[in-house]
Structure 1
Amino acid sequence: MPVRRSSVAFPKCSLLVSLRILLLVLHAGSPVYSQGDSQSDNKVMDNITVRQGETVFLRCEQGDVVTHTAWLNRSSILYAGEDKWSVDPRVSLVTLNQEEFTIKIENVDMTDEGQYVCAVQTSSRPRTTSVHVLVQVPPKIINFSRDIVVNEGSNVTLMCQASGKPEPSISWKLISNSGDLASDDELLEISSISRQRAGVYECTAVNDIDTDVQTVDITVNYAPSVSEGRDAGVTPGQRGVLECEADAVPEADFEWYKDNRRIFNGFDGMEIINTGSLSKLTFYNVSDGDYGNYTCVAINKLGSSNTNFLLYGEYL
């Protein structure tokens, strides 16, 4: 918006004197009146609400009898007439004439919040127009728990703190599991966590302006548990497989035994293949000596579990 200046310039010879008078009016804490003055000479406008990063316009009505005018913030002069006193490049003059005196502040931040006063010196008395600028700030999560690994049965506390204005509300939910655990507090406390409560937790901070979201992953370690072994009947000379499946975090290591003797890969023509939670003991050419009882043991740092199999012969 172009700056419009009055064809009648405001005199500068007594500018400092007039500004001192205006500042005295502000510092007094209440309007100063001459005899016959009315309180209507000093106006309080409705609050201006602006979002962080936007531009705010501060407008002040003038009058034909105005000799000096200034915009002030916390008693600091922003503009005196068309003379800029503020060193802030975001502050600029928009309009200056005998109808109005308007300045703008770009990219508004929280530090710009507060009372602004347009102080006007007329030929007879000073008067002021004040307005309070409120700055709204979108939520931002500033203190948040990192991904964690815990053992089953541990107590867990997650933190989610956010800044913003209005003050944001906080909510939690477990999004990667069927669990229904939720909270509306900065701290999410989980007592004696179970493996079913492992997964990704989402914290949401919301106010009237926007939303901010962060996620944290909880890994719950627990000892292995193995599925019941399924016996297998195999004809001599044929291929046979025993499968052992274990549920564990971290993933289990597997060991195979026959009659309490550990089996290693390639032992007597047998092959062990481990893939994630599954271990396969494969016999490529079953003989009578292969029949018998086998044990699969699943092990991780929290414990172990085992199951038994019977490999028996099927004869035609």
Structure 2
Amino acid sequence: MSPMSAVAGETFTVRCPVAGYPISSTTWSKGGRTLPINRRQRVSPEGELSITQVSRVADEGSYTCTASNKQGHTSSQDLQLRVVVPPSIKPFDFGSLVSGMRTAVTCDVQMGDPPMTLLWLYEGHVLTPTADLQLSQHDSFSSSLVLTHVRPHHAGNYTCVARNEAREVRYTAQLLVRVPPRWVVEPHDVSVTRGEDAVLTCQATGYPEPTVTWRRTRPGSDKGVYNNVDVGLSVGMGVGMGVGMGVPISRTWNNGTLLVGAATEEVEGSYLCEATNGVGAGLSAIINLQVHAPPAVSGDGSVEVRRGDNVKLQCEARGDAPISLTVAKDGKSLDTNDYRYV
């Protein structure tokens, strides 16, 4: 029989190639001893030899298959069995990385027969060196991957592939890049007219996803002291729910935006937006919210006087300065040069 190979740790099976009729018995032997000689070996009545958990030390060598008939005639063939050891990769990982760091991992093949082929994959595709990614093979059983400047686009699954004639094995490690928060939309001051909705943006990105917190200076308190903003959907008369510093008719969106509906002078002030994800110091920005009051005029209404008498008409205007007042009669502005009007 031609030489055969078995993979260490696996099951090897071979049938004795006998021909003729009738065959009374088929046996296998190794080193002059008839098999089986241990619990891993089994010889079937049909002459099939099976060896489980193949070991190079115990199972490599020359085997003899012998067939005989009732007349005492025998025929034998020898089989040379070679045991090959498949690759075994030592586990590796990238650890905890922040954008801008350097990192290196080594794929060490702890076991396996040469010749050995080593290969790196990224997300299932063959990896090639770049300006900030280096690959180096130290010997037939060791290869390193070096990232000189870790960036967010380097995140993903990296696989070391080791291959010899016995088998191909793979080991995959996931690279996660933690990125400090950065602004998607830069916060800015907001100015609205009373009754309009005020939209305060605080949109940041990073990995992990940043958490956005809103704070506000308490009216009459130190400007450097900020309290948590209590936000929620309006209920009843339109007051925000919760126990913090309430902002009427307010809510936050998933992107960090704070919406203050139907703004009044009550919600004016400085708001502090903070975006944190545990990486770096985080981001913060102060947003000043101004609510402008449109002009409103009040007066005496209808006034009755006798012809020829003097009359004084009161007209009071409220709202943000500067306010310009114009007096008109029947839709036409009064002539201020007329001596009767003072």
> TM above 0.5, one fold?
yes
What residue is the counterpart of 1:265 in the other structure?
229
CA distance 1:213–1:85, shift in 2 (3 Å): closer
Q: Which amino acid aligns with 1:264?
A: N
Within the alignment, does 1:195 sit opposite 2:152 as a pair? yes
Using the alignment, how far apart are the partners of 2:124 and 2:252 within structure 1? 30
Larger radius of gyration: 2
* Map of 2:263 onto structure 1: 286
Sequence identity of aligned pairs in percent? 17
1:175 is matched with which residue: 103, 108, 123?
A: 123
Residue 246 of structure 1, CA deviation: 1.8
CA displacement 1:117-164 (0-9 Å, x = unmatched): 5499xxxxxxx97543123455554x2124732233333233444544
**Which has the higher mean CA deviation after the structures are superposed, 193-202 or 286-295?**
286-295
Match of 1:115 in 2: 61
Cα gap change, 1:216/1:89 in structure 2, threshold over 3 Å: closer, same or farther? closer
Q: Paired residue for 2:205?
A: 247
Structure 2 residue 92 is matched with structure 1 residue 135: no
Q: Do the aligned residues in 1 keep the contact of 2:28 with 2:43 (CA within 8 Å)?
A: no
Instruction: Tell me which of 98, 105, 111 is aligned to 2:50.
Output: 105
Distance 1:70 1:268, change over 3 A: closer
| 1:28-86 superposed Cα distances (whole Å, 9 cap, x missing partner) | xxxxxxxxxxxxxxxxx64223454230246699xxxxxxx9832xx4x331xxxx562
- CA–CA distance in structure 1, aligned partners of residues 280 and 113 of structure 2: 47
Q: Displacement, 1:231?
A: 4.8
User: How far apart, CA to CA, are the structure 2 residues paired with 1:129 and 1:229?
Assistant: 86
Determine if contact 2:124/2:159 at 8 Å carries over to the other structure. no
Aligned-pair distance for 1:116? 0.7
TM-score (ref. length: structure 2):
0.54
- Corresponding residue to 1:53 among 11, 16, 31: 11
Q: Which has the higher strand share?
A: 1
Which of 171, 175, 179 aligns to 1:214? It is: 171
Structure 1 runs not aligned, ≥5 long: 1-44, 62-68, 96-101, 121-127
1:113 to partner: Cα distance: 4.7
Structure 2: which 5+ residue stretches go unaligned?
Answer: 20-26, 67-75, 138-142, 218-222, 231-244, 296-342
SS at match of 1:148: coil
Per-residue deviation, 1:229? 2.0
Q: Is the 8 A contact 1:148 1:217 kept in 2?
A: no
Give the whole-Å Cα distance in 2 for the aligned partners of 1:193 and 1:104.
54
Q: How many residues align?
A: 241
Give the aligned residue type for 2:33: L
Query: SS in structure 1 opposite 2:257?
Result: strand
| Counterpart secondary structure, 1:109 | coil
- The alpha-carbon distance between structure 1 residues 93 and 293, as it changes in their structure 2 partners (threshold 3 A), is closer
Residue of structure 2 in register with 1:296 after alignment:
273
Q: Label 1:60 to 1:113 Cα distance change in 2 as closer, same or farther (>3 A).
A: farther
1:21 maps to what in 2? none
- Taking the aligned partners of 2:198 and 2:39, their CA distance within structure 1 comes to 82
| Residue identity matched to 1:78 | R
Contact 1:229/1:309, CA 8 A, preserved across alignment? yes
Structure with greater proportional helix content: 1
Q: Is 1:255–1:298's contact at 8 Å kept on the other side of the alignment?
A: no
| Structure of greater relative contact order (alpha carbons < 8 Å, 6+ residues apart) | 1
Partner in structure 2 of residue 224 of structure 1: 181
Give yes or no for contact 1:138–1:209 (8 Å, CA) kept in 2. Answer: yes
The one of 236, 248, 261 equivalent to 2:194 is 236
Quick check: 2:28–2:64 contact (8 Å CA) kept in 1? yes
- CA distance change for structure 1 residues 289 and 239 in 2, over 3 Å: closer, same or farther? same
After superposition, the CA RMSD in angstroms is 4.2
SS at match of 1:196: helix
